[in-house]
Structure 1
Amino acid sequence: MRVPLPPLPGVQAFEAAARLGSFAAAAEELHLSAATVSQRIRSLETHLGVPLFERHARSVELTELGRAYLPAVRESLDDLAAATGGLFAPARREQLTVRTQVSYATTWLAPHLHLFQAEHPDIDLRVVSAVWSEALTLGEVDLDIHQGRGAWPNAHAELLHHDSAVVVHGPGHLDRWGPVTEVADLFARPRIQVLGFDDVWQRMSHDGGPVGPGGRAGPAITVDTTVTALELAAGGDASAVVPERFARTAVRAGRVSLALPQAFPMRQAHYLLRPLEAPRSSPRARVFLEWLTHLDEHQPALG
């Protein structure tokens, strides 16, 4: 069973008087009379059954139990103030919620978001993906960015980025298999395909694959995100087809390399989705979209 809590007005008066060294100073800080502060502390002492202060003619001094009690009181009041301010204080900054796929957030937004924050320090960003996105109501999402072919029910779809695909591999691929001289080489070796992008491999096969020793294709592994494909390619001996935009940071960091110099067209692109009943973006969303467009124009493609 929980021990009955002490009266909060008395706890607050006790902490202020202990910190400031007098009932009068505590009264001034709390906008109370000194008599009221004294009364509240008396009430707390009655509740606890022990004196917390030794009262002298011109000063007060904490008792031994008062000194022992003070740290816990301060910590509790600090925690309460922090929780109250965090949850209920009036918002002084704008918050922008962007919902998108994990790969877009990780490989495209994450390396550049510090630039947006530097330009717009008054906007707090919240980027959500599959883990939390379904828990958000429509009104909680400012921008909804999806990759697909442009047709979503009950939504306006505005083209945001055209996408192309590239083939990448890590150092382990070169160590085991050597350089790629033609498309057919890729099908003779281990490869990684991302769900939804596997049609790129199929179209590449018409240009020289699948072939391999004895006319057999090499093994393939299928994953559901570009992030996973890039990690597998960087740490293994397989090549991966990924959206060119998503590969830029990893290629320029030297974690993976382009297996072929050319890019391949993709049937998917990135779209900005808006509900039919709310076709206009908020002002903060338009600021982010302008920044995103500027970023796209000033980040050169691989090749």
Structure 2
Amino acid sequence: MRDPLPPLPGVQAFEAAARLGSFAAAAGELHLSPAAVSQRVRSLETHLGVPLFERLARSVELTELGRAYLPSVRESLDDLAVATGGLFAPARREQLTVRTQVSYATTWLAPHLHLFRAEHPEIDLRLVSAVWSEALTLGEVHVDVHQGRGAWPGVHARLLHHDDAVVVHGPGHVERYGPVRDAADLAARPRVQVLGFDDVWQRLLPTGPAGPAITVDTTVVALELVAAGDASAVVPERFARSAVRAGRVDLALAEAFPMRQAHYLLRPVDDPRPSAQARVFLDWLADLDDHVPALPMPAEDGG
């Protein structure tokens, strides 16, 4: 059972008078009369059984017990104000929830989100990976970006990005295995296979790859494995831009390859129009392609 609480109006009056140094100043802040503040403090003192102030002619001073009590009172009132404001205060900023897969968030959004924040500081962005797709309903998500072939039951899908694939290899690949003159050179070499992108390898190597493979489920893991070693991988060109430009991985072939998958914006069938804040973010995504151009393909005669 909780111990009896002191009278809260008295606690508030005590803190204000202690901070401001007089009952009159506390009365002005609390929109009370000085007599009402004095009465509330007296009620608190009666409850505690000790005086908290020494009453002087034009001011008040804390007693020793008052000084000891004040820090706990301030901390409690501050905690209450923060909790109340966080839960019940009118929203002062707009929040936009964006859900997408980890690779899109990590390789495409993360390197450039500072640009969005600079252009739209009034929008607080909440970025949720598809790992938590079951935690939020479609109606709770303002921007829902998925990679696939555009057929999801029960939702309206609008194309956002066409995607091409590129082949990348690690920094030690050429030194260990020699230059990559064409796709056939990769057949017997180690590779990282991303689930869902098998069709690109099949077009590159019609007779099938012979080299050892590590299979992963996200592009971001594939890029990390390639950067740390000498294997090659097929990844969406969009996702490879930052890693290639940073020198972490290299392009292996002098062309990009169309993918069956693309990126789509998903919306509920009964509410296909994005919100105003979502349209701001989607316009920024469209402009991002102009600011972050596609990778130039390397010369045909080497890796």
Displacement of 1:175: 4.3
Displacement of 1:90: 0.6
Displacement of 1:180: 2.2
Displacement of 1:134: 2.2
8 Å CA contact 2:11, 2:44 repeated in 1: yes
8 Å CA contact 1:53, 1:60 repeated in 2: yes
1:76 equivalent in structure 2: 76
1:27 equivalent in structure 2: 27
Q: Please give the alpha-carbon distance, in whole angstroms, between the structure 2 residues aligned to 1:33 and 1:100.
A: 57
Identity score, percent: 83
Alignment deviations for residues 151-206 of structure 1 (CA, whole Å, 9 cap, x no partner): 11111111110001111122233443343232122221211111111222222111
- SS of residue in 2 equivalent to 1:38: helix
In structure 2, the CA distance between the partners of 1:49 and 1:196, relative to structure 1 (3 Å rule), is farther
Displacement of 1:209: 4.9
Q: Give the AA of the match of 1:151.
A: A
Q: Please give the alpha-carbon distance, in whole angstroms, between the structure 2 residues aligned to 1:168 and 1:49.
A: 77
1:273 equivalent in structure 2: 266
| 2:10 pairs with 1:10 | yes
- Single out whichever of 170-179 and 50-59 deviates more from structure 2: 170-179
8 Å CA contact 1:53, 1:63 repeated in 2: yes
Q: Please give the alpha-carbon distance, in whole angstroms, between the structure 1 residues aligned to 2:191 and 2:7.
A: 68
- SS of residue in 2 equivalent to 1:103: helix
2:204 equivalent in structure 1: 204
* Match 1:221 to one of 197, 214, 217: 214
- SS of residue in 2 equivalent to 1:266: strand
- Single out whichever of 40-49 and 249-258 deviates more from structure 2: 40-49
| 2:299 pairs with 1:301 | no
Q: Please give the alpha-carbon distance, in whole angstroms, between the structure 2 residues aligned to 1:179 and 1:73.
A: 72
Q: Please give the alpha-carbon distance, in whole angstroms, between the structure 1 residues aligned to 2:117 and 2:223.
A: 27
Q: Please give the alpha-carbon distance, in whole angstroms, between the structure 1 residues aligned to 2:246 and 2:3.
A: 58
Any unmatched runs of 5+ in structure 1?
211-216
TM-score by length of structure 1 reads: 0.92
* Match 2:283 to one of 243, 265, 290: 290
2:301 equivalent in structure 1: none
Q: Please give the alpha-carbon distance, in whole angstroms, between the structure 2 residues aligned to 1:49 and 1:195.
A: 73
1:235 equivalent in structure 2: 228
* Match 1:244 to one of 237, 243, 256: 237
8 Å CA contact 1:164, 1:264 repeated in 2: yes
Q: Give the AA of the match of 2:90.
A: P
Q: Please give the alpha-carbon distance, in whole angstroms, between the structure 1 residues aligned to 2:26 and 2:105.
A: 50
2:140 equivalent in structure 1: 140
In structure 2, the CA distance between the partners of 1:15 and 1:131, relative to structure 1 (3 Å rule), is farther
Displacement of 1:271: 0.7
8 Å CA contact 2:22, 2:60 repeated in 1: yes
Alignment deviations for residues 231-280 of structure 1 (CA, whole Å, 9 cap, x no partner): 11111222121110011011111111112221111100001111111011
Q: Please give the alpha-carbon distance, in whole angstroms, between the structure 1 residues aligned to 2:138 and 2:264.
A: 17
- Single out whichever of 64-73 and 276-285 deviates more from structure 2: 64-73
Displacement of 1:230: 0.9
Runs of 4+ in 1 over 6 A off after TM superposition: none
Matches within 5 A, 1:188-199: 188-199=188-199
- SS of residue in 2 equivalent to 1:96: strand
Q: Please give the alpha-carbon distance, in whole angstroms, between the structure 2 residues aligned to 1:181 and 1:95.
A: 49
Q: Please give the alpha-carbon distance, in whole angstroms, between the structure 2 residues aligned to 1:147 and 1:3.
A: 57
8 Å CA contact 1:169, 1:234 repeated in 2: yes
Alignment deviations for residues 8-64 of structure 1 (CA, whole Å, 9 cap, x no partner): 222211111111001111111011111221222222223333222122232211111
In structure 2, the CA distance between the partners of 1:52 and 1:177, relative to structure 1 (3 Å rule), is farther
- SS of residue in 1 equivalent to 2:260: coil
Q: Please give the alpha-carbon distance, in whole angstroms, between the structure 2 residues aligned to 1:77 and 1:174.
A: 65
8 Å CA contact 1:99, 1:145 repeated in 2: yes
Q: Please give the alpha-carbon distance, in whole angstroms, between the structure 1 residues aligned to 2:275 and 2:208.
A: 48
Q: Please give the alpha-carbon distance, in whole angstroms, between the structure 1 residues aligned to 2:47 and 2:202.
A: 78
Q: Please give the alpha-carbon distance, in whole angstroms, between the structure 2 residues aligned to 1:2 and 1:226.
A: 54
8 Å CA contact 2:139, 2:268 repeated in 1: no
